[in-house]
Amino acid sequence: MLKSNSFLLFFCFILLFNCKKDIALTFDDQNISTETNTIVEVNIPKAIGNEAISEVINSEIERVVISHLQVGDPDKITSKSIEESITAFHTDFENFKSDFPEAAQLWEAQIDGEVMYQSPDVISVALTSYQNTGGAHGLLNISFLNFDASSGKVIPNTSLIRDLPAFKKVAQPYFDQAIKEKHVFDDTNDFVLPENIAYTDDGLVLLYNTYEIAPYSTGIIEFAIPYSDIKAYLVFDSAR
């Protein structure tokens, strides 16, 4: 009888452990601010569920948001949290007003995030940031983050695609069409992939930020390649 009870307890422990291990990962929307904040808006997804994986994903999202709120040299970031970055942004604005009291320009920053795609293999998140610190125009920047759904670690672009030369041959006609629609003249013989690539419901999206391959007036250039065209070159299965 004692052995039976011990076996039952052991079985329940294993079952409980596996249930905890397989907790589904979901995302909540969160707004981050401070008591004195008036010029920064941050709305980003927060991973919840599996604690270990969520922590890795949320830390990376936080790191990118902090970098987007940085004013000046990106190598001199000192903030350890988004709240600290918001406070630092305010401080930089107050210093600007002190140095240039005649300037009427108000600073602003807005960062919005969304989960673009989620499967058992990969999670793609987009962070869109707009920052205006008194220049001729604000700066819009979009960052795609691809996470390994089993670990939460960031997947570099080089690990998203196999046989890169073959993939580029398929992608180039989509790129050519995208720049044609934007009236951009580019040397397509030197086609390079963008910094931002992500999974979406419509296919693999490639996005070039402002200034990446064209002047500011061109804006962002992006296009989606249907999974049916590139399935053989994807490391992660696009079928959910």
Mean pLDDT of all residues in 47-76: 95
At residue 11 the predicted structure's pLDDT band, cuts being 50, 70 and 90, is very low
Query: How confident is the model over 151-188, as pLDDT tens digits?
Result: 999 999 999 999 999 999 999 999 999 988 887 766 55
Residue 189 has pLDDT above 70, yes or no: no
Residue 137 has pLDDT above 80, yes or no: no
Cα(53)–Cα(47) distance, integer angstroms: 8
According to the model, what pLDDT value does residue 14 have?
A: 46
According to the model, what pLDDT value does residue 52 have?
A: 96
Amino acid at 50: N
Find out whether 138 and 96 touch, Cβ atoms under 8 Å.
no
At residue 210 the predicted structure's pLDDT band, cuts being 50, 70 and 90, is confident
Residue 188 CB neighbours (<10 A):
11
Residue 233 has pLDDT above 70, yes or no: yes
Mean pLDDT of all residues in 213-228: 87
Name residues whose C-beta falls within 8 Å of residue 63's C-beta, 6 or more positions apart in sequence.
none
Find out whether 182 and 218 touch, Cβ atoms under 8 Å.
yes
Residue 12 has pLDDT above 50, yes or no: no
At residue 17 the predicted structure's pLDDT band, cuts being 50, 70 and 90, is very low
Cα(112)–Cα(31) distance, integer angstroms: 9
At residue 16 the predicted structure's pLDDT band, cuts being 50, 70 and 90, is very low
Mean pLDDT of all residues in 10-15: 46
Partners of residue 28 on adjacent β-strands: 46
Find out whether 154 and 127 touch, Cβ atoms under 8 Å.
no
Considering the chain, what percentage of its residues have pLDDT values greater than 70?
86
